[in-house]
């Protein structure tokens, strides 16, 4: 299930007890993997959902919502990966929701995450700009564990 962190499936923040109950019911009804993201890459907005997923025995996948800007450096992504790992996630996903991840950036990002952290890493790309297939290929060459 793709879960917007504290927003669940909506577009506003919900209280922690609502997040907890939603995840509990989702797991009871068969959900076993939760890809939890925050569009602003704020780990505080993912923490309650990730903890709820883990507490109910499901797979908690923390997510890097990939974008580019002067503030989004390789170190930014490594720091966010570390923060998500500190919450106890089972795996990390790189979510290229706008299709702007270049093949070489995919290679560099996957290589560095795999070099620095012992974590299962997944890459999700959209083909908006036509680079998705090559970004996926370079990520595979760099050691990504799963793609979609």
Strand order in the sheet with 146-147: 2-3, 33-36, 59-65, 91-96, 120-125, 146-147
Boundaries of domain holding 52: 2-147
Question: Consecutive 10-residue runs of the chain (148 residues): their mean pLDDT?
Answer: 97 97 99 98 98 99 98 98 98 98 99 99 98 98 98
pLDDT for position 121: 99
pLDDT for position 82: 98
pLDDT for position 131: 97
Question: Quick one: tokens of 111?
Answer: 């290589």
Domain count, the chain: 1
CATH label of the domain that carries residue 55: 3.20.20.70
pLDDT for position 116: 99
pLDDT for position 126: 97
pLDDT for position 58: 99
């Amino acid at each position: 299930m793709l879960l917007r962190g504290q927003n669940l499936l909506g577009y506003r923040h919900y209280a922690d007890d609502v997040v907890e109950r939603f995840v509990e019911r989702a797991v009871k009804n068969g959900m076993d993997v939760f890809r939890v993201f925050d569009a602003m890459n704020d780990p505080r907005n993912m923490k309650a959902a990730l903890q709820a997923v883990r507490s109910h025995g499901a797979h908690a996948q923390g997510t890097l919502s990939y974008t580019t800007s002067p503030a989004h450096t390789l170190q930014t992504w490594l720091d966010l990966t570390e923060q998500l790992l500190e919450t106890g996630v089972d795996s990390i996903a790189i979510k290229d929701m706008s299709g702007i991840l270049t093949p070489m950036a995919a290679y560099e990002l996957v290589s560095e995450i795999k070099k620095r952290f012992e974590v299962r890493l997944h890459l999700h790309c959209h083909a908006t700009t036509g680079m998705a297939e090559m970004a996926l290929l370079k990520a595979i060459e760099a050691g990504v564990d799963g793609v979609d």
